Structure 1
Amino acid sequence: MTGDDRWGCELLLCLANPNGWKSVSECHPPVEKYIDCSTKRHNPCSMPGCPQSGEGNYAQRNDGRYDPCMLLGDGYEEAPRGYLLQGVLSSSEFSRSGNRYYAKKPSKYNYDGEYESCDSDGHCTTVSSKACVRPADYQGIAYERYSCKDSDGYSRTCYRQVLVYSAISWQNAQPPRAIDVYIEGKLYNRVHY
């Protein structure tokens, strides 16, 4: 093989390596060539294909900042948007009053992107978050106390619902350029660059 066919096959093999493309010295030239040409401002190159790879085996560019939860395996999926807390409702991390549970520790907001979080004093920061959960780990709903302002501007105590899971995998935002590798038609790996 020569030209783009060879380059495309080298890219597919290198990017599918479970140890990462950087672990094999022969992978550096073809992957670095693609990264360099795909990031050009004018006329960026496209991902070359590998004709010998067979149906369903290919790589394509993706601009996602977070990896799909399914790459974690073991039944992980995207968590619902909103406030989440890792714990077990029957533990000492929660108090119970009647049929309601109240969180003793703060939750974290799941958004799958960037958002601005502001405290009661008006200090704001940009936060990135994405959570992955397994439905089997769902514990139920708890309520979290937080400070809010009423219609007259006075601070008061409010409560919000928080979804509780025994295990939550939080992802950090990655560089926005990525390559998705598909093996037998299923997403196998995402490589950020």
Structure 2
Amino acid sequence: MKSLLLKSLLAICCMTPSYLISGSKAQAEDWGCQVILCLSNPGGPTQFGECRPPIQKLWRELARGHAFPTCSGVGFHSSRPGYEPYYCDAGYSLRGGDGSRGGQVTCVPTSPQPVSNALCSHDADNFGTHDNPVLSPHWQRQNGRYRCMGYPIMRPNVRSQPNYIDVTIDGATTQRVWY
């Protein structure tokens, strides 16, 4: 990992004009280049101690509505900041928006799951319990026998860092960075 980070640093230094990286005074663009370097680390932007101060400054600046910093000589693009406070476990999809304006957000499985047989009985008029609601309970043939299947609804997980930006460096794969 450190060798990949070092290669990225060398690439940035080689593409950055020498007047920006030489001399005793730091240039305003140094911070932007540090941010790009740290964000390009596959181990995460704060894996190395040297990256924590510039990345923490980035989070503060973005949270205040400031623009993403620039770095001369490096081809990168960043999206506008986004907000996505909820997420679902693997195999589930988020339904109901982002929870703003009082809307309810839930996680629904992408395929039917086994549920209580009572939910598929002819006289069943409910769709699960208040704590465990189920959408579309139905009988489905599975391995030669019928099982009651449905879509049990779950509460979404809440992100500790709900804001994000998408960063593309030198045309490589876009990376979503949460803050």
Q: TM-score of the superposition, structure 1-length normalised?
A: 0.45
Greater radius of gyration (CA): 2
Q: Which structure's relative contact order is higher, taking Cα pairs within 8 Å and 6+ residues apart? A: 1
Q: TM-score of the superposition, structure 2-length normalised?
A: 0.48
The answer to which structure has the higher helix fraction is 2
The answer to which structure has the higher strand fraction is 1
